[in-house]
Amino acid sequence: MSNDSIVNVGELEVLVRPVPPTASVHWQKAHVRLPKKPSRPMQEITSKLDGHTEIVPALPDSDEWNAWVLKMQDWYAQVDDIREEHIQDQMQFYMDYAILGWRNADSQDEWQEMPDEEWEIPAALTRHGVDSINDKRVAYIMYAILDENWKVQAVASKAWPEGRDAERDDSPVTREEVAAVLDKFPGRDEDSGRPMDASAGGTRVRRADERIRTRDAASRGNCRRPGFLVRALKRLSGDTDGIE
């Protein structure tokens, strides 16, 4: 296919295809169980004209809204923990999907889809209590082909082409991002957590609202490049620029 790319990974070169957004969606539905998302806040108001009451969406700065912001911060933190637990498994899925085959670098050999029969999963993993990969093809990709961080990055750059990098990052916020929002929540001093002046609280809660609403809106969009996995790749390679 025209979208496939040949990536050099040392002595080998691999044929890489882009990972479609639907693949990520389906994998997550099959393997990741997230807690129920807090419902948008509602409040009861009474009409000054005729005295009747009705339930309407809560307004920013209301008690109901502020309580919802706290619940959302909590939810994002839980989601982040759950996704962190699944990063390795999802990485294996992505690389298994993206890498169609491999061969000796700069050769015209046929693409190989499975490791040689004599190749075995490293026994040291079992001896030292490290969970090994049961599938031989996946194990070969992760332990033999992608045995250095730069190789993972090289393949990932083609699995998620540059043209899609600019698309919205719809991943849940990280714990650090949640902490940054919490620091701006009214009633907390940014450094010590002590009660702060109410006049400053209005600005800080608005910032928290903006961040929560932006992330919440993004999470309802189409699934794009998995931002949390990109951040994990950066951590693996030691590139922490741009990671909050």
End-to-end CA distance of the chain: 37
Beta bridge partners of 86: none
The predicted-structure confidence for 185-233, as pLDDT tens digits, reads as follows 334 343 333 333 434 445 555 665 666 766 676 665 444 445 556 555 5
User: Residue type at 63?
Assistant: D
Read off the tokens for 48: 């000054």
What local confidence, expressed as pLDDT, does residue 101 receive? 97
Q: Tokens for 51?
A: 């005295």
234 contacts: CB under 8 Å, gap ≥ 6 = 240, 241, 242, 243
Q: Give CA–CA dist 20/125, Å, rounded.
A: 32
* Domain positions in the chain: 5-237
From the CA atom positions of the chain, what is the Rg in Å?
24
- Express each pLDDT in 19-29 by its tens digit: 998 888 899 89
Q: Which residues are registered as beta bridge partners of 112? A: 102
pLDDT tens-digit profile of 86-110?
A: 888 999 999 999 999 999 999 999 9
How many CA atoms lie within 13 Å of 183's alpha carbon, on the beta-carbon side? Answer: 9
**Per-residue model confidence (pLDDT) at position 217:** 62
